[in-house]
Amino acid sequence: MSYSGVAAYRPAVTFEERSWDFQIPDIVRPLATITVCDLAIIARRMGMQWKDFRPVDGILRAEGRGHIITSTLVKSLGLLVQYNYNGPPPHLSIRLPGRYIPLEESDALGFGIITGEGSILEQNPPISTIQEIITTLNLLDQSGWCAVRMKELARRDPGYSIPLADLVSMIMEISRLRGTNLVHVPAPSNNMNGFSVSPYGRRAFWALLEDCVSNGRYHHGPQTEAVLQATRQFINNHPEWAERELDPDNQHSTDYLDLVHDYFDQTSRWYRTIIDFHKINRNFISAYLRFCVFCQNDQNVLVAENSDYEAEMKRYFELWPLILNDMRAQLF
């Protein structure tokens, strides 16, 4: 299998036909072996969801896109895994929705693990549970304030969870194969809301940025102008960026996705030219968490489902002077 502009990817599984017709009945026929790690990842990449994943107890079950994996604990053999397929013919199954980007970073997200950008995280923390989120907050905000705040909110409402989509997008490198139109990654947490994953949120961001630059009230540099030009290009030429939700069948323009990829790489290269950018990066994430996510009135600025993104973005821009002052205080 190969894609235009992408190196050919060889299949991970090869099939060999063997006959046991003349095998002595008393002889146990050998079974294929696989590690639990590989099995977990393969199931994810095939579009399955783990309904039950307790390998220590001998219990495994995954379903999705016509595939089914079950397990049985067999004496003298151990954990025996069975695979069945009851979906459409294989040549049609590739059209089913739910195909994930086949990269290690995407695999990790499926198990609640963020593969962080090196300047922010020296380890890859999990964020699938409240306790894991608190631990990760301690890594991102070394003041400890956000972790304490999270504990308070979780104590008041055990079902509470902060929105993590924008934070994950700030921390991670881009996870995508150039030349493909695959866009789906597994959700690492149960609250993956945020303006960056909504076309309406991105449109609100563009509108506020346009206003800030055009009204002359704020001083801005060439990079802000470059970001504005990029958003204008998306607004004018690619409606999927700010006008409609992502197609569940992954039918996106490869040109559009490659353009997003290009802008990410271009911005990353510029960002790494900044003196002390590692420290600035960490300080920004810390300030963002304290000012934009955890607020004095227990409300999140960039959160909830069906939210008023225009109001949230306005508040976000109002907080920028506080964020910048906080970053300056930490640098000097």
Q: Nearest-CA neighbor of 94 among 39, 46, 51, 126?
A: 46
59, 115: one domain: no
**Tens digits of per-residue pLDDT, 281-295?**
888 999 999 988 887
**Tens digits of per-residue pLDDT, 173-216?**
888 889 888 888 888 888 888 888 888 889 999 999 998 888 87
What is the rounded CA–CA span in Å between residue 116 and residue 34?
28
35, 67: one domain: yes
62, 111: one domain: no
166, 309: one domain: yes
216, 137: one domain: yes
Continuous H helices in the chain: 36-45, 90-93, 104-109, 130-140, 145-156, 165-171, 199-214, 222-237, 254-271, 277-288, 309-331
Q: Are 136 and 123 in contact (CB under 8 A)?
A: no
88, 114: one domain: no
What is the rounded CA–CA span in Å between residue 176 and residue 102?
8
62, 116: one domain: no
Residues for the chain: how many in total? 332
153, 260: one domain: yes
- How many domains is the chain built from? 2
What is the rounded CA–CA span in Å between residue 66 and residue 85?
6
Domain finish residue from 35, 65, 96 = 96
Domain finish residue from 66, 96, 126 = 96
Mean pLDDT on 264-289: 84
DSSP state of 240: G
274, 252: one domain: yes
127 φ/ψ angles, rounded to the nearest 5 degrees: -140, 25
Q: Nearest-CA neighbor of 186 among 254, 121, 101?
A: 101
Contacts of 123 (CB under 8 A, 6+ apart): 116, 139
Output the pLDDT for position 218.
Answer: 72
The domain in which residue 1 lies consists of 1-96
92, 207: one domain: no
**163-167, 267-271, 302-306 — which is least confidently predicted?**
302-306
DSSP state of 305: T
What is the rounded CA–CA span in Å between residue 259 and residue 263?
6
234, 167: one domain: yes
pTM above the 0.85 mark? no
H or E element that contains 313: helix 309-331
82, 111: one domain: no
Domain finish residue from 36, 69, 96 = 96
